Structure 1
């Protein structure tokens, strides 16, 4: 992958680079995660060594894991993840073969079940073989394995001219230890341990001669970690119990939603489980890692948007994100890391290449919108929770972030917050569409910097508005007045310089020469989310987003389909990103387009059904056709936090719900229910110190809302029909 395009993995490059054995379809891969470890395999449970593997702290510690029976790959019956995302199970069966005794075993008489989980930097696997033949079966089970200790960026395609030193594999009874001493001086180990005595064991494979009586069952246990262990039934069950308990604890955080639709509830459950899976408990609190496999780390923008999506249900997630980002707020200027004092982090990595600064992403600040989004989230969190203690404790950080916005705004004649990367190793584009070709003119030209992105200015507007409200609450009237003035100045500048009357929308960006990137993109929908446009112009943007050029039937495309660079198979120029559709939908709801939000949510739900209830990072922007499924993007992350969270942002936009923490009120504005749902309950919604159950019910062509009688008087409910 080109270093200047850290976020994108272009499918054409990816597919040409990978061999035919490599899994390419994210919706046919299976991911497990615990804290800073994750594992991606194919449906057989195999790791084949290019884009998959077992990763620990951005290093691949298991690059090969392949099971064969009598020299053949077993037939796949099916594969699945448990509802709580803890266990991966592959169900396989044998092919016709001759085993150790040269006796023929017919196809389909041995059931092979691989069950796997991750817990505390270790992979646990149980292989159970059940004989359904009337005779004793003798099989030769072979497992190939390996550890290449490649950095995540190497796995993604970055070439390194030099690597560290591999130590000779240490082979003991039932255990193989791999070790690699990196150029950073760190010794990394991967120890593969087996529960049974093998027939043969080498540095790359192990073989077992297995005999299974009629109706009998044999089990083999495997563990992969940093130290040797003694795998077995007890350690497997103990790890599974602890992992499930920890996941249950995560999923209990915040309010939950339950509806009258069984399949719709499956989507709710999967989305909530994916958020819990990706949420890592850091010293500063919970943080939703962006996605698996490429972005299983803390990203600033992704974390903020995921927290915004979940804020109405689980404010604790926002607090964890805000606390982590404040702790890593920049205090220095560096062209290499694109940092300046007050700026909020874009990304952090722990791998060898990041430590050696071969790439800037160890702690990288190249995101133009992350800082205003941080401020926007902080203001929304405080409004939602009335957390005055957080406001006082974090005021200095908020002011430093605001100071950065003001300083950058002074560099532009119109006060826009712009970006231009400080070093060639950084990101060339620094908004959420951060691939190298995602910002362009109508004729396809790549614009010169510094670039002012339209949605980034919207976030700056929203940040100043939120800051003004916070300053007023602290009794700092002059500061509140100044920030309100900056917000209105930004509103006027965007309306004056980004609006394109002839196209009925806002330009994607303004380049370093002051020329508009006059293309129609979904970015304009983000302005609706922060409430910047006038009602008249918002209506025209809404008309664009809901029209056939943008709305594919599954969701909102990132680019109108008649623009020159449009490509439905691209990463950013015509694909559909669920979080982008959700932000646009929330913006439409701000301007009373709630019925349109219901339709967008319906399309996204139907897409989720085709993706086994798990929305990927993105999918292709082809127009929906009767009887056809949405087309997957070949190297999308799955699961992805802000894709899972998009469900809850869409739900909030439908219900029109907002919690005012300072007043202790629940405000419901013209609620709608998703298509096919007649009633819905939000359970344990926190309002101040109270928790309430909130019910929505369809009555004719209206939706009524009421509190459970148990909570009457604990929190005012204000409903506008």
Structure 2
């Protein structure tokens, strides 16, 4: 990636590889908090001259180290600094919503040298929607920049009448001088002498006050937090090193993307543009990470319940019981210039909320959370029946009501993503294939929860609805001529017949009839759908296919992950291994083995994966993708009432052993190793405090 990003809680920094935020950068670099850009410029110079980048490292997710040096400097024939004589390191991190940067300068010139090191800043307090060019509107007033002792202060009063300020703080003993918004630090260094300065940047909203910690203490707190996250996560080690690297990267990145807005930890969608609570994205990422950190699911569910719709509001596409799509905190949202406080234009977040809840209870046996959230659950079920099924035909549809909302309200939410085979765009109301799967899965899961709590009447109703949906889906969406399901039904209930990845999600739900499963599995790994690195969002050769597009031919890791969970669920082991091997190979081409939000859908025969130019990285459900490989390869699908866990393992090529340590299950922990011996698998349970029996099912060798 051509940028460097750091995040902790609500604050994130986006710079170029040299660590600068150039003014007017086309990618919207900056320091952001709560959808406002608190720094729009940050540049480091020596004697007023830009530096030469040597190395830029961000492998640990929570810290960044950038190595630079000076260019040759002469003035009127007098030497100021010999080229490459000063080594400069920028070491930075964000801790407790404060940016810390320590700049270390070391001289390699044989004689003493003196120079000035300058940091220049600017803060435009631009709303995220304006930075991204999506909206324009009434904005507030920026005030005169102030200098007070050891700090530079930028102030802004938004159109929402909220005061926002950026404070740049340095050590008063550094001898710094300020001119305008540039801080100049004098340096005098002998040969191989090293000195450093530290600045702290605080982004404040409203009446907030914050006294930053000393840099060393802040970094120790941050490091310990990440170590605790890693130590408390389930650990997976295999004899397949590329997979080990991918899982380790995923666990690191997910910690960076975790946030808590008061109801427990959850994942924001991704950086740089989606560092806020999302419905669909946060729910899917929590589902992916369930075996590693189930408490994320609990925090996600409580957060979603807190912002659940309570009334009908067309401006925000809100309806009672509906789970939100996205919430924003900037001045355009606060002044109702955009409908994101929160915005509810998503058809899938509500059933996914119910799916995550039931999966969480199956893993943890924490039925108390179901009881706690029961009013929210029943509101969500009512939304599906009353508002989701707009015409009473049994299928869940979406339609945009808000003038500034989103037209397509499934996960493929770009305007061109739902397209007929003749190239015409489908018109809403639209019933998406994968959404019917989520609803089916939600109904059966909640029915299981109702039965466990003694409410058989409500359970029977949901089971009956699910049974009817399965029958009608397999009739209405199935395209006999191609042996595959339509992506959607349009406003006239006609099939949108383009071959896409969407129906693959219904495998995990169990919605696809057994007699159709093999055709779907084979289609997903066919040359038209499978690029060699992953399943494309749309099949090559379709009218809307474009390998460079956002949703019409690209490869999305999370899309593949939900399909993989389904492949494992129906024991499509061969097809699952093809997909996992492709994604593992793709990860090796990206920086730090980090799967991005998406990449282009060009075939493997054309070379390495082609990056999508503005893909988020790190991104939560992309990071969570490799974690689903573990469940898929183990065939691990717990149910609530069973006292037994059945593993149906099937490993990718070149892998013969997987060790799992401290898997959270049923309130306890399980550790075990699975080994492949020829065509058979062996299980060795090392520890088990779950109260469940862990066994192998040898029929796992059957391939669909």
The interval holding the TM-score normalised by the smaller chain is over 0.9
Structure ranking higher on relative contact order (CA contacts 8 Å, 6+ apart): 1
- Which of residues 579, 591, 594 is equivalent to 1:614? 594
- Shift of residue 248, structure 1, vs aligned partner: 2.0
Residues 111-142 of structure 1: CA deviation (Å, up to 9, x unaligned): 11100011122110001011123222333322
Q: How does 1:17-56 map to 2 (within 5 A)?
A: 27-49=1-23, 50=25, 51-56=28-33
Q: How does 1:562-577 map to 2 (within 5 A)?
A: 562-577=541-556
Give the number of aligned pairs: 689
Whole-angstrom CA distance in 1 between matches of 2:150 and 2:367: 57
- Look up the match of 1:224: 201
Gaps of 5+ in 2: 699-704
Task: Say if 2:656 is the partner of 1:678.
Answer: yes
Task: Say if 2:543 is the partner of 1:557.
Answer: no
Task: Say if 2:396 is the partner of 1:417.
Answer: yes
Q: Secondary structure at the match of 1:610?
A: coil
- Shift of residue 305, structure 1, vs aligned partner: 0.5
- Shift of residue 179, structure 1, vs aligned partner: 0.4
Judge conservation of contact 2:568–2:576 (CA < 8 Å) in 1: yes
Q: Secondary structure at the match of 1:456?
A: helix
Whole-angstrom CA distance in 1 between matches of 2:544 and 2:390: 30
Query: What is the root-mean-square deviation in Å for CA atoms of aligned residues?
Result: 2.1
- Shift of residue 621, structure 1, vs aligned partner: 0.7
- Which of residues 212, 215, 232 is equivalent to 2:189? 212
- Look up the match of 1:110: 86
Task: Say if 2:359 is the partner of 1:377.
Answer: no
- Shift of residue 383, structure 1, vs aligned partner: 1.6
- Shift of residue 222, structure 1, vs aligned partner: 1.1
Whole-angstrom CA distance in 1 between matches of 2:324 and 2:525: 34
- Shift of residue 104, structure 1, vs aligned partner: 4.7
- Shift of residue 312, structure 1, vs aligned partner: 2.4
- Which of residues 58, 82, 87 is equivalent to 1:81? 58
Judge conservation of contact 1:260–1:678 (CA < 8 Å) in 2: yes
- Which of residues 87, 100, 104 is equivalent to 1:128? 104
**Where do 4+ consecutive residues of structure 1 move more than 6 Å?**
227-231
Whole-angstrom CA distance in 2 between matches of 1:275 and 1:224: 24
- Which of residues 635, 642, 655 is equivalent to 2:634? 655
Deviates more, 1:261-270 or 1:502-511: 261-270
Whole-angstrom CA distance in 1 between matches of 2:405 and 2:179: 43
- Which of residues 354, 359, 381 is equivalent to 1:402? 381
- Shift of residue 199, structure 1, vs aligned partner: 6.3
- Look up the match of 2:701: none
- Shift of residue 474, structure 1, vs aligned partner: 2.0
Whole-angstrom CA distance in 2 between matches of 1:56 and 1:515: 45
Q: How does 1:312-327 map to 2 (within 5 A)?
A: 312-327=291-306
- Shift of residue 664, structure 1, vs aligned partner: 4.0
C-alpha distance 304-220 of structure 1, shift in aligned 2 (>3 A): same
Judge conservation of contact 1:385–1:660 (CA < 8 Å) in 2: no
Judge conservation of contact 1:679–1:696 (CA < 8 Å) in 2: yes
- Look up the match of 1:632: 611
TM-score between both structures, scaled by the size of structure 1: 0.92
Whole-angstrom CA distance in 1 between matches of 2:690 and 2:539: 49
Whole-angstrom CA distance in 2 between matches of 1:121 and 1:312: 29
Whole-angstrom CA distance in 1 between matches of 2:448 and 2:459: 7
Whole-angstrom CA distance in 1 between matches of 2:512 and 2:76: 74
Whole-angstrom CA distance in 1 between matches of 2:54 and 2:345: 45
Judge conservation of contact 2:33–2:203 (CA < 8 Å) in 1: no
- Shift of residue 532, structure 1, vs aligned partner: 0.8
Task: Say if 2:472 is the partner of 1:493.
Answer: yes
Judge conservation of contact 2:548–2:601 (CA < 8 Å) in 1: yes
Q: Secondary structure at the match of 1:659?
A: coil
Judge conservation of contact 2:547–2:553 (CA < 8 Å) in 1: yes
Whole-angstrom CA distance in 1 between matches of 2:510 and 2:688: 33
Q: Secondary structure at the match of 1:423?
A: coil
TM-score between both structures, scaled by the size of structure 2: 0.94
- Shift of residue 676, structure 1, vs aligned partner: 2.9
C-alpha distance 410-150 of structure 1, shift in aligned 2 (>3 A): closer
C-alpha distance 659-413 of structure 1, shift in aligned 2 (>3 A): closer
Task: Say if 2:336 is the partner of 1:357.
Answer: yes
- Look up the match of 1:192: 168
Whole-angstrom CA distance in 1 between matches of 2:689 and 2:184: 66
Whole-angstrom CA distance in 1 between matches of 2:120 and 2:162: 26
- Look up the match of 2:519: 540
C-alpha distance 386-285 of structure 1, shift in aligned 2 (>3 A): same
- Look up the match of 2:702: none
- Shift of residue 614, structure 1, vs aligned partner: 1.1
Q: Secondary structure at the match of 1:103?
A: strand
- Shift of residue 200, structure 1, vs aligned partner: 4.6
C-alpha distance 336-100 of structure 1, shift in aligned 2 (>3 A): farther
Q: How does 1:50-449 map to 2 (within 5 A)?
A: 50=25, 51-83=28-60, 85-98=61-74, 102-195=78-171, 197=174, 200-226=177-203, 235-408=214-387, 410-449=389-428
- Shift of residue 425, structure 1, vs aligned partner: 0.7
Judge conservation of contact 1:78–1:91 (CA < 8 Å) in 2: yes
Whole-angstrom CA distance in 1 between matches of 2:132 and 2:328: 14
Whole-angstrom CA distance in 1 between matches of 2:639 and 2:571: 20
Whole-angstrom CA distance in 1 between matches of 2:458 and 2:642: 23
Q: Secondary structure at the match of 2:403?
A: coil
C-alpha distance 86-41 of structure 1, shift in aligned 2 (>3 A): same
Residues 5-63 of structure 1: CA deviation (Å, up to 9, x unaligned): xxxxxxxxxxxxxxxxxxxxxx2322111111111111111112442111111111011
Residues 531-578 of structure 1: CA deviation (Å, up to 9, x unaligned): 111122111111111011111111111000101111111111111110
Whole-angstrom CA distance in 2 between matches of 1:376 and 1:100: 72
Judge conservation of contact 2:505–2:563 (CA < 8 Å) in 1: yes
Deviates more, 1:312-321 or 1:524-533: 312-321
C-alpha distance 148-458 of structure 1, shift in aligned 2 (>3 A): same
Whole-angstrom CA distance in 2 between matches of 1:690 and 1:310: 17
Whole-angstrom CA distance in 2 between matches of 1:595 and 1:657: 16
- Shift of residue 230, structure 1, vs aligned partner: 9.5
